[in-house]
Amino acid sequence: MRTSNIVALGFALILFSLPGAVLAKGNAENGKKIVESRSLGNCAACHVVPGMEFPGDVGPDLAKSMEGYTERDRDTVRQWVWDARQFNPDTIMPPFGPNKLLTKEQVDDVVEYLFSIKKKN
């Protein structure tokens, strides 16, 4: 048990430190569902999200934000969704990863979706 945990942790550490390009690609279609779902991402509570009615204006327009990121920034975008406190310790944005609001795979899917709305705009 112990050792396997440590091995898993090691793997996770290696994974996170790899450059963005090697990170697992998610599923944009699934990501869209997570972003729009009230019980999962609920991102429109705070952000303008393409196609969502009555969005909040607490955070920036996500399509606009994505204009500022290229494929090389995939890891940065992922870290924003995983735990925005890394960029702003007093952020209102929930720490989706650490607080188990979304799984690793779900975060990958959300990131894939974010890059897909970038292409469309």
Partner 1 sequence: MSRFSRAFVLLACAGVLTAGAWKYSFAGEEAAPRIKEYTPNISSQEYEKRYNAVYGKSTEKMAEEGNPADFMLDDGKDLFGKAEGSAGKSCASCHGANGEKLKGVAATFPKYDPAINGINTVALQINRCRQEHMGAAPLKYETYDQLALELYVKSLSNGVPIKVSIDGPAKPFYEAGKAYYYKRHGQFNFSCAICHVKYAGHMMRANLLSSNRHHADHWPAYRLDWGAAGSFQKRFRGCNKNVRQEVLPFQCETYRDLELYLTYQANGLPIQVPGFKM
- Of the pair 83, 109, the CB lying nearest partner 1 is at 83
Closest separation in Å from C-beta 78 to ligand HEC:
9
Cα–Cα–Cα angle for 108, 93, 36, nearest 5°?
A: 55
**Toward ligand HEC, which CB reaches closer, 43 or 75?**
43
**CA 30 to chain CA mean position, Å:** 13
Give CA–CA dist 105/121, Å, rounded. 25
The mark string for 55-74 relative to ligand HEC (x by CB under 6 A, - otherwise) is: ---xxx-x--x---------
Considering beta carbons, is residue 23 or 45 the nearer one to ligand HEC? 45
Q: What angle do CA 46, 117, 68 make, to 5 degrees?
A: 80
Residue 39 makes contact with partner 1 by CB under 8 A:
no
Indicate which single residue of 23, 46, 48, 63 sits in contact with ligand HEC (rule: CB under 6 A).
Answer: 46
Cβ pair 55, 49 in contact under 8 A: yes
